[in-house]
Every structure is written in C-alpha cells, then in structure tokens.
Chain A
C-alpha cells in the first residue's frame, strides 16, 4: 500500500465502523491523513510500530493543531476532530487528522560487527516495519492495546562465505521478549552467530558508512560467545537482556527495549573452509515480558 494511501472518506461513506491504516512503511518519514473525525484511535493488532503520533484540530490550542500519541500500551478513546472546513495556522492548510509512526526507521540501515564495517560479502534481510492503526467511527466496545505475537521464519538462508555475515534484521519496537532459534542445516560445518539490539539514530555517524549508518548497537550475544556453533541453539531476549540456553558466558545488564533486533550468522572461521553454508532461523517476538499472550 503506502502511497497513494487509502481514502478514509470512503470508509465513512460506505458505513464502515472504522478506518484501518495497515501498511508497510514506505520511508523513514511516512505520514498519513484522514479527513474524518473519529471516536477512538488505537494501534492495530499487526503493527510492528509501537508508537504513533496523531495531530488533530482543536480550536482551543495555538494554531488549532493539537498532538497526542497512542502506543501498544495506550489507546485514545475519545473524539478526535478533523474539521476540514477550518485551517491549521500558520500554514493555512485544511484541518485533518495526521497519523505518523513515532518510532524511527531507516530503510538503508545496515549492521556492523565488533565496531568494524562489514566485509563486502555480507548480506542482510531487512524486514520493513508494518504500521497498523485503527481510527474508529463508532464507540468501540473495548480496546486491547497489546499486539499479536509475531513469528519470523526463514527456512533456508545461506551464509555468503568469505568471512561475510548473513544478517536478519527485524522490527522490535516496544517488544519485551524474543525467542531466537538457530538451526544448523549441515551438521558437518560450524557457524558463528551474533545478536544485537539496535537503536536507530536520526543522524548518520561520522565513520563514513553512509545514510544507513545510523545504528547504536547493544551486543546481546557478542561474537566471542557463539563461535563454532554446530548444534541448534535457542536465545531468549527478555526486557533487553539475552539469556542464552545453555548459559555459557556472563549475561549483559538489563538494557531496555530496542528498535530492531539483528541476528548475524557466518560460516565459522575455525576449522572450516569458510564456504557458504545453509542455516535456518526462527524469531518470535512478543509484547509480554515472559512471551506469549497473557
């Protein structure tokens, strides 16, 4: 979907109870609009974005432009006006409801490992976040702000070889729990694995990495920990700290929620040719700190 966006007027005209904006983000600056006033706003069940900014018409505030925020932990249940027949000052544009992700996203993001830029052979699967927001035209009977648990499953990924990592980066906005399951598809070979929590800046760093060089990295599983993996391994990320099973190194301190999770796997450089090899990966994320629907 993204742009051009759906028209909320058609939903209202056709008697729908709500306008649902459900789209993959098109850019790091998406903003959507509704010319309809509504009676509630909530994060939808399939949203990766956890925080959403809303602007609406309020004749009591300066320039008539008011702002509120809804999140996966807080909906807004009351009337939100668009007032198309009036204008926002000083731009003199007609009143309408603005809806925009208040989480940062950069579609050019690329990770690095251990403070150095990646070998040219590294690859990345970068999952675009989904924005899911619901504007209700009738009084909703109840609102459950928690999002669905989400599973990301990759049956077969090949490491690029030559020392390069295959990265999988998923949205983690507002999530409190992740289970990461790594599976070795070819038991004759071993792998190295790293897991980072990533917070996105809105300013590129000075190291020359380019427009996508905007990540601040918290190592959850550093390179030194999972080196030479043969067997499958499960990692639990809980409230920002990793708890690998089995515990084989000191746990990092509690670090809070991240924008993204990135998992990097490469053919182990110890005792192998470093040629491309296959693995599988399953990641489950949840809003509930212990995982699963409460």
Chain B
C-alpha cells in the first residue's frame, strides 16, 4: 500500500490500496474506521462541505453492509469508487476560490486516508 501525497494522488491510488485491504480481509474494518474518524471534521451545519460528507454517508453505508469476510468484489468496487470521488471533490473544494473545504479539513482528510488505507 502506498502513502498518498495529496488528495488527487489518494484518489488515483485508492484502487491499489483498497484492493490490498480486500485481499487481507480488513476492508470493512478500515473503511469503518476511516469514515468514523473524519466525519465530525465535516459537520452537517457546514453546508458547503456537504459534497464531502455526502460521500462519507455512502461510504458508511457500504462499509456497514459489507460482510467481515468473503467481501463481494462488488462491495470493493463501490468502495473504490466512493473513496476516489471523495478525494477528488475534497481537493476541488479546497483548491477553488472561495474555498469550501479549509486547509485544515483537507489535511485531516488526507491524514485519515493514510492512517487507514496506506
């Protein structure tokens, strides 16, 4: 697994990183820990960051419904898609003017990704 150096980088290496977890049988555990660790950084009342928290909602749902063992490939595919898209939109909201995701939020998201997925 590879440490991501930026959120776009995290997006385009997510497939490899999550596949390693899938093979190792820890995809559910790591995905659950990921969204739980970062969700409060994007609170509901911060409407402009909803694109990030909406992907986290979908990640939470997918992780919750995923079995612990013998994870269907379809669940891995969904998780890859959601993490890929989450990282890209967070990067966009952090880099645009005006910023809708702060530098602190973006850094926290990248750190959470690397803590669980790399």
Residues of chain A touching chain B, judged by Cβ–Cβ distance below 8 Å, are 3-4, 26-33, 55, 62-63, 65, 88-91, 93-94, 98, 100, 106, 108, 201-204, 211, 214
Separation of A28 and B55 alpha carbons in the complex (Å): 13
Closest to A105 in B: B88
Contact between A98 and B89, CB atoms less than 8 A apart: no
Give Cα A27 to B8, complex, Å.
10
- B116 at the binding interface (Cβ < 8 Å): no
> Is A29's CB under 8 angstroms from B89's CB?
yes
Name which residue of chain B comes closest to A4, CB basis: B48
> In whole angstroms, what is the CA distance A202 to B19 when docked?
13
Name B37-82 residues within 8 Å CB distance of A: 39, 44, 47-48, 50-51, 53-58, 60-61, 64-65, 80-81
What is the bound-complex CA distance between A93 and B51, given in angstroms?
Answer: 13
Taken residue by residue from 1 to 24, chain B's Cβ proximity to chain A (1 for < 8 Å, 0 otherwise) reads as 000000011011111100000000
Residues of B within 8 A of A98 (CB): 54, 57-58
Residues of B contacting A214 with CB < 8 Å? Answer: 12
Residues of A within 8 A of B58 (CB): 55, 65, 98
Question: Which chain B positions have C-beta within 8 A of A28?
Answer: 11, 84-85, 88-89
Instruction: Say whether, besides A3-B48, A63-B64, A203-B13, A29 and B96 are in contact (CB < 8 Å).
Output: no
Interface of B is mostly: helix
Q: Are A202 and B12 also in contact (CB < 8 A) when A63-B64, A88-B61, A91-B39 are?
A: yes
- The number of residue pairs between A and B whose CB atoms lie closer than 8 Å in the complex comes to 97
> Is B86 in the interface zone, CB < 8 Å from A?
yes
Q: Which residues of A contact B55 (CB under 8 A)?
A: 29, 31
Pair B15/A31 contact, Cβ less than 8 Å: no
Closest A residue by C-beta to B77: A202
- Please tell me if B29 contacts chain A, counting CB pairs below 8 Å: no
Tell me whether chain A's interface is mostly helix, strand or loop, or mixed.
loop
Residue from A93, A106, A204 within 8 A of B44 (CB atoms): A93
Given A93-B44, A202-B11, A202-B15: A33 and B65 within 8 A (CB)? no
In the complex, how many angstroms separate the beta carbon of A4 from the nearest chain B beta carbon?
Answer: 5
Task: Name the distance in Å between B48's Cβ and chain A's nearest Cβ.
Answer: 5
B93 contacts A by Cβ under 8 Å: yes
Closest A residue to B81 by beta carbon equals A202
Q: From B8, which residue of chain A is reached at the shortest CB distance?
A: A211
Alpha-carbon distance A29/B16, docked complex (angstroms): 18
Q: Tell me the minimal C-beta distance from A228 to chain B in angstroms.
A: 37
Q: Which residues of A lie under 8 Å from residue B87 when comparing CB positions?
A: 29
- Determine whether B92 belongs to the interface, using a CB cutoff of 8 Å to chain A: yes
CB distance from B46 to the nearest CB of A (A): 11
The answer on a CB contact under 8 Å between A211 and B61 is: no
Closest-by-CB residue of B relative to A7 is B47
Provide a sorted-by-A list of 6 A–B residue pairs whose CB atoms are within 8 angstroms.
A3-B51, A29-B92, A31-B85, A88-B57, A89-B61, A202-B80
